Amino acid sequence: MSFLAPLALISAAIVGPIIVAMYLLKLRREERVISSTFLWQRMVRDIEANAPWQKLRRNLLLLLQLLLMILLVLALARPFLPVTGISGSNLIIIFDRSTSMLATDELPTRLEAARRQAIALIDQLPDNGRATIITVGGQMEAPIASSNDRRELRRVIEQIQPSYSNQSDLTQALTLASALAAREPDSEVAIISDGNVTLPDGLRVPARVRYFPIGRATDNVAINAIALQPGPFEQTLFVQATNYGDSPVTRRLSIYLDGRLDFAIDLTIDPGREQSLTQPIPSTVTIVEARLDENGDALPVDDRAFAVSPQRETVRVRLVSDGNRFLETGLSLLPGIEVVKTPTTTTTFPESAAEIPLTIFDGVTPAELPPGNLLFIGPLQSTELFSITGEFDFPLIRPASLEDPLLRNVRLNDVNILRAPRIVPGTWARIIVDSDGGPLLLAGEREGRRIVVLAFDLHLSDLPLNIAFPLLLSNMIEYLLPVSGVQLTTGQPIVAPVDPSIEEVRIIRPDGRVVSSRDGQVQVQTNQTFYTNTDVPGVYTLEERRGNEVIASRRFAVNLFAPNESRIEPRRDLAIPQISGAQSTVVRERDGRQEIWRWLALVALIVLLIEWLYYQRNTLTMLRERWRRRTA
């Protein structure tokens, strides 16, 4: 045990002797001569007891007063015990609420264990300490900042809800924490997480950073892909499960069609591998749910996935090409697509975006771009959207973002490319697939239109001979024609066109709650519906209403599909550069302190009460006797 104010112990050396001396000093009495002391023996004994500097006799009041003095002096010295925690007076807590924090290896969940750890850190704050709470996982939030109200801090921590996000990025949170720590001395940053986070590059935190790991388990199996592909007479269901653990497992996969169990199959999956299921189902099925049995891992939230049958009306797609059998065959297999072939010599495109919402340029780049969304495949010339500076051979494919919807269910490991143009993208584009010579797949939005660029010519690669081609083509068409995007991941907005005569748009969430454009939770602008609160996996139903009549209805399947969150193995350290030069964030046993002066003050109050009761014992006895006689 140590003391924050050890000089307060000196007061014991001053006050203690004063208390003892009060019991040693002689009482001043007037002397009188009497004939006999036989009847005054008791008074004589009292006089002897008050003779100066004689040996002290047992006196409970003296002991209680000395004990009270010692307790008060110790409390003033502010003793503390070294504990695992923090020692700064300005605490910044970064609280991870991502999907992996719903794992049940900590009772009842990692999120609840993180709450307990955060409250314990709040309790360690000194009297003048302040705390800021920053939540990560999905959108970063700071529900309370620089507050010394411990009751309010505990309330905020108790109200933190999980976020079904694809990943936890600490870049914004640590940037904000660094700005707050730079303004306040004696600051400390506490990260409460299981470590499944993305760390920033080039950031040096101007405070001590401590990491409190949550969780123990590593075994987890997740459904990371599901698709429903319609055909002429039946639909084809594709489901894929991945083992993110360290040992082989066998799990039962159950398939529900429109809410009824249709069949089940046992899947044996090796560590780090996946198993897939392809099954024909009736064309009348509208909703498919895949479930893994609950016995096997610590994260049940990724054991379910949903798919809905596409409900898109026929859309005209312009294909500007000299002939591409691979591309034409792939487009013909997509439901609701009517391909309008246009020769590459065409220079004007009179149709509006409403008539032809998507144009595909195969190996050609026109001088004037048509309205609507655009897909470039193997462009040969620069445009206002991107520049071509040359070519490079045999690019090494390197996906930049496996979480992007355009790469859903797509594996490019076995794809070989002979030659590709060197593209310099504009600021509108994000790189989906990169390589050692330049980007190979770009996507983004500019001036309200969606654009995708597949850099290489299909004939100069073996992509059309790979199973990845139809999946990639389907994903690109779904992105470029949002109305067909019935498969979403948590956090992706629901975007759909609506008829101008519609009076109300409703969204029925998976939990049964209904939100509407009338209460402002569903946005309707320029004949399009936007709903962003897709935080819960499941099936969302969009209804277009005119009065009490439902004019049109669409379903959207929202799934988790977050490999970073399904890998639940906790990290024991985070490498975060700090101003002091430290890199490790591991909390050592003596990093924090727990002050105990409040408990000492409470014990002193109890001792004071006992001392007063003992001193007033005769008076209390007399009052008790009077009360008995009165009641008798």
Average pLDDT over residues 147-158: 94
Average pLDDT over the chain reads 84
Which run of H or of E encompasses 547? Answer: none
pLDDT at 23: 55
Instruction: Give the pLDDT band (50/70/90) at residue 3.
Output: low
pLDDT at 531: 93
602: left (phi over 0), alpha (psi -120 to 50) or beta: alpha
Instruction: Give the pLDDT band (50/70/90) at residue 237.
Output: very high
pLDDT at 320: 92
Residue 26 scores a pLDDT above 50: no
Instruction: Give the pLDDT band (50/70/90) at residue 128.
Output: confident
Residue 223 scores a pLDDT above 90: yes
266: left (phi over 0), alpha (psi -120 to 50) or beta: beta
Nearest CA to 188 out of 589, 588, 583, 591 is that of 591
Average pLDDT over residues 376-381: 91
pLDDT at 485: 45
Residue 587 scores a pLDDT above 80: no
Choose between 599 and 313: higher pLDDT: 599
Check: CB of residue 466 under 8 Å from CB of residue 416.
no
- Is 499 exposed, middle or buried, given 0-12, 13-18 or 19+ CB atoms closer than 10 A? exposed
Residue 395 scores a pLDDT above 80: yes
pLDDT at 2: 61
Residue 49 scores a pLDDT above 60: no
- Summarize pLDDT for 191-205 with one digit per residue, the tens: 999 998 888 888 899
Can you spell out the DSSP letters for 279-310? EEEETT--EEEEEE-SSS-S-GGGGEEEEE--
Check: CB of residue 221 under 8 Å from CB of residue 245.
yes
At a CB cut-off of 8 Å and minimum separation 6, what does 301 contact?
99, 102, 164, 537, 560
pLDDT at 590: 42
Q: How far apart are CA 487 and CA 429, in angstroms?
A: 22
**Structural domains in the chain?**
2-81+598-631 (no CATH), 85-216+570-587 (3.40.50.410), 221-307+562-566 (2.60.40.10), 315-485 (3.40.50.880), 488-559 (2.60.40.10)
What does residue 303 show for φ and ψ, rounded to 5 degrees? -95, 5
Residue with tokens 């003779």: 51
Sign of the CA dihedral 184, 188, 192, 196?
positive
Exposure on the CB side of residue 399, measured as CA atoms within 13 A? 16
